[in-house]
Structure 1
Amino acid sequence: MAIYQDKLTPFGAKSKPAFITSGFKNWKKAFEKFKAHENSHTHRHAVSVTAQESHPINAQLSSALATQQGDNRHCLEKIVSSIKYLARQGQALRGHGDDDSNLYQLLKNLAEDDALLVKWLLRSQKEYLSPQIQNEILCSMSNSIVSEIADTIRNLPIFEFAIIMDGTQDISGKEQESICLHYIDSDMKPHEEFIGLYSVSETTGKSLAAVVKDVLFKLNLPMHGLRGQTYDGAANMSGKHAGAQALIKQEQPLALFVHCGAHCTNLIAQKACLASVLNRDSLDWVNQLGVLFSQSGKFKAIHAATAHTEIPSCTAIKPLCPTRWAVRSKAIRDVLSQYGSVLASLQEMASGASNTASTANGLLGQFRKGKTVLGLILASPVIDELECLSISFQRKPLLE
């Protein structure tokens, strides 16, 4: 048994030295002696008070636990703030490995001035940086933001709002419905707030109407405050009898249905471009030229070298997006301003033996025709007007 030379307590001075200084040796009577010592005043005093009377063991353990919890809370706050920053900037949290992720590298940068965070990052187990915890934190942030939006709408002087819904398929082929809420605040400023994406098993009017009602129920937004609903022109959305808008109107007749302005603009632009065969074909050739430019690095290099001899700086030729009409006017201008270099690049590309030589040869034949140039010249002012219309619908001041 270990021998201690610490300062003896008043009780310890009168106790047997076997348990304090000289050590216990009479092991034949160990149980008897231990029991007697356990009931002695010296042992009771040592257990209840300990050698450090101002800091008992239980208090030391509680203090250490509180310190550890405070340190962990500090590091968790740093993790949450880092995730919030990356999410706000639209940056990915993860990387090829845990130590290469944007989140971990951002925490390492913050740890340069934070000793606690440095010590925490050196731990072998980083459970608070796992993908599951990241998703849980992001989900909590999302729920907090959506709840705040719902609280704002409920506290409006005049409880009125509208709903906007549109659907599309994600990369896995599942139908996702995006839902936004539109409301006017007390300063008469309009707001459109994205609430979330909701998966649906079918896209019937009944199913879509059920999604709208379910979302409003979860946000505690009573149906009697709904004053508007905006969808596209599909039958399952805008149908007079079985569409989602008709089924919602049965419960709330004041929910006026309005065909989405952006969708109407898209339909108008499509019809305007398809009305003339000359314009339609010319725009299609520009689109195919943009596809060739984006997919063939060789053609891109040929065009850059050819255009550099004619103009100081060449411009990339991009394909036409079927829904983003605000980029079509620029694409047409880029082709018309570099028409000579486009022809020269297509001719050089068509003379090669690559798989895209036939595509380049076909495009060369079309762009050599005068009607292609005429179609682009005639389509340009029309597309410019449609672009102004699209931009006016998307302009931010309209939502402020």
Structure 2
Amino acid sequence: MNQKQSISYVISSQSSSQQKNYRTKLTAVLNCTRLLLMQELSSRGHDESKESLNKENLIELLNWYVARRKKINEVLFSNAPRNDQMTSPSIHKDLVHCCAVETTRSMINEMGDSLFSILVNESRDNSIKEQMTVVLRFVDKSGHVKERLLGIFHIADTCAQSLKDAIDAMFPTHGLSIFGLRGQGYDEVSNMSGYHSEILERLNIEELSGRTGQF
């Protein structure tokens, strides 16, 4: 194999100037992505070509940024290699995912070792896919009750087994311990409450009932 084609070789052979330009470009795109996420605005458009009068929020925001910052202009769009534009949908999705990971990590750190409960609900999205929403409720170090959205998880269906499997996977993924769980909330749907399917027993927490309180 040609070692000069390896990723490690390409990265190590880059000059400090190239690395600085890449970091500048990445930071600019990430800053615009974070702003759109905070404002809950869409990023992509149907027509992002040069001839388009409205390339949608991400590209238009970057164009606004480029027009006002010389250093950004030097590393983006026409001044960047065509295979390193940092504006493709796949790159943008990766950045959005990274923002989501960091946001969740910050929320978990905010909760710390506090006891918590989970609020679970499910519904279909616009593409008719089942999804489960999980919210954490806890008391922070200042004594304030906080509710934080942990995530929206796609599930095969809304039967008790699918919900149980999704919740089981959620705990280790986010470093949560079942011993810190003190309750769960739901919208009175029987298969979520465990009235018929005994989902609490499936979660193996009935043995902790003496320590976790009444569900």
TM-score, shorter chain, exceeding 0.5:
yes
Give the C-alpha shift of residue 217 in structure 1: 1.4
Q: What CA distance in whole angstroms lies between the structure 1 residues aligned with 2:161 and 2:213? A: 16
Give the C-alpha shift of residue 80 in structure 1: 0.1
Q: What CA distance in whole angstroms lies between the structure 1 residues aligned with 2:213 and 2:26? A: 45
In the other structure, the counterpart of 2:101 is 143
Q: What CA distance in whole angstroms lies between the structure 2 residues aligned with 1:255 and 1:177? A: 24
SS in 2 for 1:195: strand
Q: Percent identity?
A: 24
Determine whether 1:121 maps to 2:94. Answer: no
Q: What CA distance in whole angstroms lies between the structure 1 residues aligned with 2:194 and 2:101? A: 32
Normalised TM-score (structure 1) = 0.45
In the other structure, the counterpart of 2:17 is 67
Output one character per residue of 1:172-205: Cα deviation in whole Å (capped at 9) or x when no partner.
2211000111100111101110011111113222
In the other structure, the counterpart of 2:58 is 103
Q: What CA distance in whole angstroms lies between the structure 2 residues aligned with 1:230 and 1:211? A: 16
Gaps of 5+ in 2: 1-11, 50-54
Q: CA separation of 1:103/1:251 partners in 2, compared to 1, >3 Å: closer, same or farther?
A: farther
Output one character per residue of 1:26-55: Cα deviation in whole Å (capped at 9) or x when no partner.
xxxxxxxxxxxxxxxxxxxxxxxxxxxxxx
Q: 1:235 aligns with which of 178, 183, 190?
A: 190
Count of aligned positions:
193
State the one-letter code of the partner of 2:78. L
Q: CA separation of 1:150/1:256 partners in 2, compared to 1, >3 Å: closer, same or farther?
A: farther
State the one-letter code of the partner of 2:168. K
Q: RMSD over aligned Cα, in angstroms?
A: 2.2
Aligned partners of 1:238 and 1:246 also within 8 Å: no
Q: CA separation of 1:136/1:255 partners in 2, compared to 1, >3 Å: closer, same or farther?
A: farther
Aligned partners of 2:190 and 2:196 also within 8 Å: no
Determine whether 1:250 maps to 2:180. Answer: no
RCO higher in 1 or 2 (8 Å CA, sep ≥ 6)?
Answer: 2
In the other structure, the counterpart of 2:30 is 80
Output one character per residue of 1:120-160: Cα deviation in whole Å (capped at 9) or x when no partner.
2224625310000000000011011112212222x24xx30
Q: What CA distance in whole angstroms lies between the structure 2 residues aligned with 1:138 and 1:127? A: 16
State the one-letter code of the partner of 1:231. Y
Determine whether 1:133 maps to 2:88. Answer: no
Gaps of 5+ in 1: 1-61, 258-400
State the one-letter code of the partner of 2:46. H
Give the C-alpha shift of residue 214 in structure 1: 1.4
Task: Identify the structure with the greater helix proportion.
Answer: 1
Aligned partners of 2:160 and 2:192 also within 8 Å: yes
Q: CA separation of 1:209/1:256 partners in 2, compared to 1, >3 Å: closer, same or farther?
A: farther
